[in-house]
Amino acid sequence: MASLTGAWAQPAPSINSGGIVNAASSAPGAPVAPGSIASVYGNFLLSAPSWALGIPLPTSLGGLSLAFGAVEAPLLYASSGQVNLQIPWELAGQPPAVTATLAGQTSAPQTVNLAPFAPGIFSMNGQGTGPGAILDSSYHLVTATNPAAAGITVILIYCTGLGAVTNQPETGAAAPSNPLAVTITKPSVTIGSVPAQVLFSGLAPGSVGEYQVNALVPSNAPTGDAVQVILSIGSATSNAVEIAVQPPTPDQRADQLLTQMTQDQKIQLVYGAVGTATASTRGGAGWVPGIPQLGIPDLYLADGSVGVGNGVGPATALPSSIASAASWDVSEAYKYGSVIGAELRAYGMNVNLGGNVNLIGREPRDGRTFETKGEDPILAGKITAAHINAIQAQHVIGGIKHFALNDQETGRTTADVRIDERGMRESDLLAFEIGVKDSNVQSVMCSYNLVNDVYACENQHLLNDILKGDWQFPGFVMSDWGATHSTVAAALAGLDQEQPDNAFFGSLAQAVASGQVPQSRLDDMVHRILRAMYATGLFDYPAAITPIDTTGDQAIAQDAEEQGAVLLKNAGGQLPLNAAAAKSIAIVGSHADVAVLSGGGSAQVTPTGGPALTEGYPCPPCWAQVIWDPSSPLQAIRAMAPNATVQFDPGTNPATPAALAAASQMAIVFVSQWTSEGMDLPSLNFTDAIHSPPIDQDALVAAVAAANPHTIVVMENAGAQVMPWLGSVSAVLEAWFPGQRGGEAIANILFGAVNPSGKLPITFPASVNDLPRPVIATPPDSTTPFPVDYSEGFNVGYKWYDSQGLTPLFPFGFGLSYTTFSFSNVAVVNNPTSGNPNFQVTFKLTNTGYVAGAEVAQVYLAFPASTGEPPKRLVGWQKVFLQPGAAEQVTIEVDANDSSHPLSYWDVNSNAWLIAPGVYTVYLGNSSSSASLVTAGTLQIGS
């Protein structure tokens, strides 16, 4: 008889229908493979979850077991609703069904969809979607914050279901690490649908049921934060998970290439091959042969401060770099740099040796002044950065030089510059710091001279501490030509490449072999050179030799001169000349009938069309030829004034031009001052280094001015000049070395087709006696280091004259226009309570004259006296073009975090830029002279 009262019966555990899933992909009903991890869902009647505590895995957790026929499965985890298990390796002969047993009761069997392969990739959300459990070889998750590098990164894919392996462990036992268990069938992997090379596929050592597949992210994989990774094996395909992929960084590419290089190949890259048996087929100043087997291109090095130098080929002779600085316009400077970059590239040159940012305001007689960007570190740094950015955009490694304090040519290889830390940080080094940081420049040339008793190219403090340490410069340091003085000391101090030969780094291999230079240092040198090549695209965009764009580049040359020429004097509105009214014009001097002058030395450009004229080899420097660029001011002036009689006198004897001037309506005297690398000027007067006997150009101007009150002087020179005749002439135009479209540009300015807007990037002192060193320090002989005392520290240029109370002939920032401007509604805006010291100067700028023109609004800052800073520092500017009568509301932003440290001083105690509390005065105007500045406001920083 059936009992009606039977006791309550313990239910048996149950497994959901279709409740066995691949643990990685979590796809219901999807197959699972022997050896893999699976999850089983059901009602397992456990009161508390239970975990396996070790390997080998238990076959029972909390009394629950799961079995495939007679084979019990190893368990990782069990709860009332879920069990994670390893599908036993050995299922042959067992039913494809699983049962759960608890307390002697067994569930109904549930069919398992078994397959030899059931790939699933583990994901971070446990659902088999989104970011995958995929690591890089440093075992970091590959996500948006740690993307894989296409072509570089090997990813470790953690997955399951890849079937039988060699060296197969017991069911439930740990995967062996030696020898590794490798899958019998190799899976394939796609990353963003692109097949990836599989480097390893096997069990993840130490795990149970988990596989690891190592795959190289293909170089052509798509990039992004969610690139799908899919694995297939046999005919089975996994779920899709995501990784982040980015193009490889230059550092990653360099590191990868480095691993393939032999020691000899590494050594080959750290010095120039000039003077060896083979030679560069492309000319230039230097050459480093590449390594074709590894795809490493040759490095072809050429100067390019004012156009492509070294006689590489006829190139556009731009106006001087200092003229580019005189534009005070970084977008103009970018165009200037783009000509250099494009023409270097067209000649197959891929390393530029330009970027001369030496602050020659310390020594305006410096023969290389024309290559530089003037005396102010901020203006010079920003203009140089614009040049370099433009050059590197053409896939040419940009350079910045000469690091550091190479501010005179006299005794340049033995000059021992003495300067205090703060002085150099806030002057010459600041120009480099801005140039380096704002341009991502990839090479720095260390200089010939010594700094505080140590040669610059083995100067640990300059190279390792400051450049590579404080500024985090990632590129390479090359020596100036022959500026290396040691092997071990230079290598350890941070020199990465000797130029132009291997006089010292030829011994580097031995120095590494003997342990004097660590292998890691050699690897770092090579890494830096390769990363520079990658960063500027030398591998990806190899130079193809093409014709240069003569027309386009000459147009930029002319524009650069028109923007950079500075009108210094214009008494009685002498300029612009009235073409219609001009009847007779005397043109005098400086070969103005055929040419304009250019500067000499390594920056010398061979102009397209060839020089108009060449003259001797003045001594010093005794090796540089004088080249006159083919642009005739006479012809350009004639074209402007077709109704005037325009006559030329060479000016070699003051009497004849004076007579011509007397007989003419007006006279335009061209004075010129040739300078070159390898020499300094004997004075700030217009001396004549070219001719013997020299032409006394000061006397020439005086004679012409005495004969005609309408005398205009056009100066073709490098930098600051004194002008004893200034009071007797009516107008003066500083044309610098004006480049091969200089004649046209000068004529355009003289006749008002262009309104001058250049501003001096260098102070013109009243006398050579006002310089920090009226007499240039000279060496005792050619080998003994001699001191050059820079005790003026950061007081360079206008800061020096301000600090000494000296009134210059023309102040820094000065330049006239054919129109007039007014500043109104001037205010300083800041937010002192925010703790952020940034400020803006706001004002209305109005063109109050009758012609369109541009003004350069300049902001200077006076620091609290407690800081000991110079009386004022340029901290910002803006060039604004306005139609006559037009006005514009202008804001100049001064950001304390800018690379120029506009609100900071260098604190020697903390070795850092600091902002001092106190009251700051903000000035606004159109030159550094106090007379041209208004107080825009004051700032209180801190308490």
Q: What positions carry a catalytic annotation?
A: 480
For position 496 contacting ligand BGC by CB under 6 A, the verdict is: no
- Minimum gap (Å) between residue 272 Cβ and ligand BGC: 10
Residue 728 CA to residue 935 CA, distance in Å, equals 34
Residue 284 CA to residue 298 CA, distance in Å, equals 13
Residue 739 CA to residue 795 CA, distance in Å, equals 31
Take residue 728 and report the two structure tokens written for it.
């007797």
- Minimum gap (Å) between residue 867 Cβ and ligand BGC: 35
Residue type, 516: Q
Nearer to ligand BGC, 457 or 749 (CB): 457
Which of 253, 282, 345, 401 is in the footprint of ligand BGC by CB under 6 A? Answer: 401
Residue 466 CA to residue 493 CA, distance in Å, equals 11
Instruction: Please count the other Cβ atoms lying within 10 Å of the Cβ belonging to residue 574.
Output: 18
- Minimum gap (Å) between residue 916 Cβ and ligand BGC: 37
Residue 458 CA to residue 437 CA, distance in Å, equals 22
For position 98 contacting ligand BGC by CB under 6 A, the verdict is: no
For position 602 contacting ligand BGC by CB under 6 A, the verdict is: yes
Alpha helix (H) ranges present in 463-570? 488-493, 508-513, 519-535, 550-564
Residue type, 860: Y
Residue 470 CA to residue 436 CA, distance in Å, equals 12
For position 300 contacting ligand BGC by CB under 6 A, the verdict is: no
Nearer to ligand BGC, 674 or 810 (CB): 674
Nearer to ligand BGC, 471 or 623 (CB): 623
Please work out the total of residues on this chain that contact ligand BGC, with binding judged by CB under 6 A: 8
Nearer to ligand BGC, 600 or 633 (CB): 600
What is the Cβ-side half-sphere exposure of residue 844, based on CA atoms within 13 angstroms? 7
For position 369 contacting ligand BGC by CB under 6 A, the verdict is: no
Residue type, 818: Y
Residue 75 CA to residue 59 CA, distance in Å, equals 6
Which of 162, 285, 577, 714 is in the footprint of ligand BGC by CB under 6 A? Answer: 285
Which of 136, 242, 303, 523 is in the footprint of ligand BGC by CB under 6 A? Answer: 303
Question: Which residues does 758 contact at the CB level (< 8 Å), separation at least 6?
Answer: 323, 326, 327, 328, 563, 564, 565, 566, 567, 734, 815
Residue 258, classified by CB atoms within 10 Å of its CB into exposed (0-12), middle (13-18) or buried (19+), is: middle
Q: Per-residue string for binding with ligand BGC, 421-460, x by CB under 6 A?
A: ----------------------------------------
For position 480 contacting ligand BGC by CB under 6 A, the verdict is: yes
Instruction: Please count the other Cβ atoms lying within 10 Å of the Cβ belonging to residue 173.
Output: 15
Nearer to ligand BGC, 285 or 861 (CB): 285
Buried b (16+ CB within 10 A) or exposed e, 655-679: eebbebbeebbbbbbbbbbbbbbbb
Question: In the chain, how long is the greatest CA-to-CA distance?
Answer: 150
Q: What is the 3-state secondary structure (H, E, C) of 41-85?
A: EEECCCCCCEECCCCCCCCCECCEEEEECCEECCEEEECCCEEEE
Q: Per-residue string for binding with ligand BGC, 662-701, x by CB under 6 A?
A: ---------------x------------------------
Nearer to ligand BGC, 245 or 285 (CB): 285
Nearer to ligand BGC, 673 or 676 (CB): 676
- Minimum gap (Å) between residue 239 Cβ and ligand BGC: 58
- Minimum gap (Å) between residue 344 Cβ and ligand BGC: 13
SS3 state at 2: coil
For position 476 contacting ligand BGC by CB under 6 A, the verdict is: no
Residue 356 CA to residue 884 CA, distance in Å, equals 37
- Minimum gap (Å) between residue 277 Cβ and ligand BGC: 21
Distance of CA 68 to the CA centre of its chain: 65
- Minimum gap (Å) between residue 779 Cβ and ligand BGC: 17
Residue 560 CA to residue 326 CA, distance in Å, equals 9
Nearer to ligand BGC, 289 or 709 (CB): 289
Residue 153 CA to residue 135 CA, distance in Å, equals 10
For position 481 contacting ligand BGC by CB under 6 A, the verdict is: yes
- Minimum gap (Å) between residue 310 Cβ and ligand BGC: 6
Instruction: Please count the other Cβ atoms lying within 10 Å of the Cβ belonging to residue 54.
Output: 7
Nearer to ligand BGC, 183 or 443 (CB): 443
Nearer to ligand BGC, 190 or 479 (CB): 479
Q: Are 299 and 344 in contact (CB under 8 A)?
A: no
- Minimum gap (Å) between residue 382 Cβ and ligand BGC: 21
- Minimum gap (Å) between residue 451 Cβ and ligand BGC: 16
Which of 67, 216, 353, 644 is in the footprint of ligand BGC by CB under 6 A? Answer: 353
SS3 state at 702: helix
User: Which residues make up the interface to ligand BGC (CB under 6 A)?
Assistant: 285, 303, 353, 401, 480-481, 602, 677
